[in-house]
Structure 1
C-alpha cells in the first residue's frame, strides 16, 4: 500500500503543518506508534485547542506548554482514549485548567470528558466524525477542507483492530464513510500528513477484504485457530507484531461469525 515515511522529527519542537496548525510529536516511538503520537495545536480566537495530548510523559507536557508560550490552552480534545493519546490529559489539565472533550461513550471507564461529543458536534471549528473500528469511541475531526483522522487512517501503517473494543464490521463501515467524503488531506495520529487520502482509504479497504477472503479460504479448508492463521498469513517475528496480527485475524473471524459464515468452539474456528 502507498504508505509514507518521514525523518524522525525534532523532539520538543512544534512544527507548522498547515496555517494555524502545529504538530508536536511525543517521545514514544515504537513499532505501534512510529516516531510517536502526534499532538496538534490549533490556533483559535480564544487561544489554542490541543488535539490528542499524548502519552503520560512529563517531558511531552512541558513541550506542549513551551509551544503554547503566552497563548492560553483553552480546550483539550481527544480522538479516542487509548493510553498513547489520553495519558497526558491529567497533567495538561492540571497545568492549564482547560476542559476536556471526547466521545460521549468513552471506551476507557476511568475517563469521563468534561464535554461529551456526539457525531456531528462542533467545537472550535472541529466537527466530530464518529469512526469506530480501531476503537469504539474513535472520533475523527473535520476542519476546513481536511480531516484529523487520528488512528483510523494513518499515513505510515494500517491500524490494529483489537477486539472486543476494536470491531472489524465497524472499521469497514467507517472506511466506507470516509470514502464518501472529499477531504483534501488527513492529519493522522501517527506519521506525516497524508495528501489525496481517498486513494489510500480505498487501498486499505481492498487489502482488508483480500485478507478476509484468505482467512475464510483457510477456515473452509480445515478448522484452525487464530494463532495458526496469524502465523501462516503474517509471518511476523516481533512479539508485539505477532500479537497485533492475531488480534486482527480474530477481528476478521468475529466479523465473519456475525455474518453467519463461520463458527467457533473451544477456540477452533470452522466454516458453516
Structure 2
C-alpha cells in the first residue's frame, strides 16, 4: 500500500493542521517514530487540550506550554508508550493541568490523575477505546468527522502490535470499527494527516490479512519459531524493522491460534493445523 510522507518539520513551532488544531512535532525522530511524535493543541470553548506531550524534552515541552497561552485545561494521553507520554509530568508541572488516560493506562514512565472510558467527553472530544497496538489505547473524535488516531492508524507506516502487550484480534476489530465510522480526516500520532480514512484503513486491514496468509504459507507442513518466520518473510531488512516484525509475527500467531489455524508446539515452535483438525476444532 502507499503510505504518506512529509518533509522534516520545524521544531518548537506550532504548525496549523485544521482550524482550532495545531501540532508541535517532538524531536524524537527514529525508525519507529518517523519525524517525531505529534503533540496536538486543540482549542475548546473552555481552554486548550494538549494531546500526547511526547518525550521528556524540556525545550519541546516549554514550546507546548507557551502555545497554550495560559489556557490549558487538560493533558490527554493516547496510550502509555514512552514516545507519547514520557513528558506528561513535566508538562503538567508547567501548566497545572490534569493528566488523563484510559482507565487501563499502563506505563513505565508516566502516570495519570484522571481515568477515561469509551464514550467519555472532554470538551468537544469523545473518547474511543481502541485496544490493539496497546490495550490502553484511546482515539479522540471531534464533531465533523475528525479523529486523533494516535498509533492505531498512522499515515507513514503500519502500526506494530507488540507481543505480549498488544492484541492482533482487537487491533483488526478496532480498525474495522474506525473504518465504519466513515470519518473524513485522521490526525495520527506520527506523520501527516490521513484523508479518505475508510479507504486507507481498508488497505491496512488487507495488509495484515495478507501477512497472515504469508505466515501460513511460510509455515507450510513444517514447524517454525517466530524468529525463523521473520527471517523468511523479512529477509534483508534492517534490524529495527526486524524487531518490529518479530512482534507483529508473534501477535499474528496468537491470533491465528485463537482462530484455530495454528498451534504452539514444543520449544516455542508453531505449526499449521491441518484442515481436518480445523473442522474438528470448529465443531467442538
User: Aligned ranges for residues 174-213 of structure 1 at < 5 Å?
Assistant: 174-213=174-213
Shift of 1:203: 0.4
Deviation at 1:236, TM superposition (A): 4.7
The whole-number CA distance in structure 2 between the counterparts of 1:4 and 1:110 is: 30
Counterpart in 2 of 1:114?
113
Residue in 1 that maps onto 2:235: 235
Could you say which residue in structure 2 is the equivalent of 1:269? 270
Q: Which runs of 5+ in 1 are unaligned?
A: none
Shift of 1:45: 2.2
**Offset of residue 56 of structure 1:** 1.4
Q: TM-score, normalised by structure 2?
A: 0.92
After superposition, the C-alpha distances for 1:216-271 in whole angstroms (9 at most, x for unaligned) are 12223311111111111122532211111111111100111122221122111112
Q: Aligned partners of 1:159, 1:217: CA distance in 2, in Å?
A: 23
Query: Equivalent residue for 2:90?
Result: 91
2:45 matched residue in structure 1: 45
Greater CA radius of gyration, 1 or 2? 2
TM-score, with length taken from structure 1: 0.96
CA distance in 1, matches of 2:14, 2:93: 21
Is the Cα contact below 8 Å between 2:126 and 2:141 reproduced in 1? yes
Mapped contact 1:107–1:165 kept (Cα < 8 A): no
Cα offset, 1:46, TM superposition: 2.2
Asked whether the equivalents of residues 82 and 109 of structure 2 are also in contact (C-alpha less than 8 Å), the reply is: no
**Greater CA deviation, 110-119 or 248-257?**
110-119
Q: Which moves more between the two structures, 72-81 or 230-239?
A: 230-239
**Structure 1 residues 30 and 112 mapped into 2: Cα distance closer, same or farther (>3 Å)?**
closer
Aligned partner of 1:141 in structure 2 is 140
For residues 66 and 95 of structure 1, what CA distance do their matches in structure 2 show?
10
Which secondary structure state, in structure 1, belongs to the residue aligned with residue 271 of structure 2? strand
Query: How far does residue 10 in structure 1 lie from its aligned partner after superposition?
Result: 1.0
Partners of 1:131 and 1:236 in 2: CA distance: 33
Cα distance, 1:112 vs. partner?
4.2
Q: Give RMSD over aligned pairs.
A: 1.3
- Displacement of 1:182 in angstroms is 1.4
* Long gaps (5+) in structure 2: 274-284
Q: Is the 8 A contact 1:107 1:135 kept in 2?
A: no
2:75 match: secondary structure: strand
Which stretch has the larger CA shift, 216-225 or 103-112? Answer: 103-112
The number of residues matched between the two structures is 271
Partner deviation per Cα, 1:75-132 (whole Å, 9 max, x = no partner): 1011101001110101001111100111011132665422211111111111011111
2:279 — aligned with what? Answer: none
Cα deviation, 1:15-61, whole Å, max 9, x if unaligned, reads 11000100100000011000000000011222210011111111211
